[in-house]
Amino acid sequence: MRKFRGAAALILVAGLLAGAAPAPAASLASAAADQKAFQDNFRSRFPAVPFADFANGPYSVNAPMRKQWEEIMQFPPYDFALDEGKTEFAKPFANGKTYADCFPNGGIGIRQDFPYFDGKTGEVVTLDLAINRCRQANGEKPLKYQTGMMASLTAYMAETSRGKPFDIKIPDDPRALAAYEAGKKYFYTRRGQLNFACASCHVGAAGQRMRGDILAPALGILAAFPIYRSDWGSMGTIDRRFTSCSAQMRSTPLPPQDPAYRNLEYFLSYMSNGVPISGPGTRP
């Protein structure tokens, strides 16, 4: 009887602990399950959209808008940035080295592998961050993150990856899984005066109108970056989009390349594995 009591007490304590414990941490299996559920959600909601076409954001889910886009693409507004980025990419730094020396495959056709988790530093590294680290390692000043030459350089590098599917990996490293989980939490967390989450617009309301805009599905949403946005009248990077989305929610934007934004990019890109890179792109 005493033994039984002891066992019962143990079970009770274990039960209480289980109830009080935080939600289970992410695992590689749960991340893969997240990805499947995420992609299945968009596939089932937009059955007429070929999977690869999610790279085209709102144009994938709205026919009139797509027609306008196809006409715009006869003279893509990002072409100037593309040319500028190509020239800058090839231009040697003061020490004679170039961007190509910093990246695998000379920086050509690698956009689909970014962001990645760096096991040495324990952080998510985006293409934009890698570009600035390359510059600094070669004695150059870092570029501003949201527009200008950073957008031009990433436009060129994205263009060399067009058609290559996102191939984001989560290594079996608790820090990588924590970064993924932090990005996931950021994506689904409501914030700001309007009480919106990223998911409010880009999951629940994807394909619907928000005033004059058609909301892009979250699946493949980063595939076209950097973008020329008519609303901006210029090119913008992922940082520009994240900060402007934050401000639209009346949430004070984080600094560009804040770890929270990098984790968000990691999560979104991983969710989009298989969607081809289509950048640089245009958006209304």
Partner 1 sequence: MKALAIAALLAALPLAAHAADKTEAETALAAAVKAEDAAGQVGNRWVPAEAALKAAKAALAAGAWDKAVAEAAVAQAMANRAVEQSHEQETAWRDAVVR
Nearer to partner 1, 31 or 224 (CB): 31
Which residues lie below 8 Å from residue 243, measured CB to CB, with a gap of 6+?
A: 146, 253, 254, 256
C-beta atoms surrounding 49 within 10 Å:
18
Does 28 bind partner 1 (CB under 8 A)? Our answer is: no
Q: Position 279: which residue type?
A: G
Nearer to partner 1, 38 or 59 (CB): 38
Nearer to partner 1, 74 or 193 (CB): 193
* 13-21, 90-98, 168-176, 250-258 -> range binding partner 1 (CB under 8 A): 250-258
Taking CA atoms, 147 is separated from 36, 71, 117, 232, in Å, by 33, 25, 24, 10
**One of 251, 273, 274, 284 touching partner 1 (CB under 8 A):** 251
Nearer to partner 1, 148 or 192 (CB): 192
Residue window 171-200: x/- pattern of binding to partner 1, with contact defined by CB under 8 A: -------------xx--xxxxxx-x-x-x-
- Closest separation between CB of residue 266 and partner 1, Å? 16
Asked whether the beta carbons of 212 and 268 are under 8 A apart, the reply is no
Catalytically active residues, by annotation: 245
Residues 200-239 that bind partner 1 (CB under 8 A): 203
Count of residues engaged in binding partner 1, rule: CB under 8 A: 22
Taking CA atoms, 267 is separated from 57, 101, 182, 236, in Å, by 17, 28, 8, 20
Cα 251 to Cα 200: distance, rounded to the nearest angstrom: 14
Token pair belonging to 22: 């935080």
Q: Which residues bind partner 1 (CB under 8 A)?
A: 23, 34, 37-38, 41, 184-185, 188-193, 195, 197, 199, 203, 247, 250-252, 260
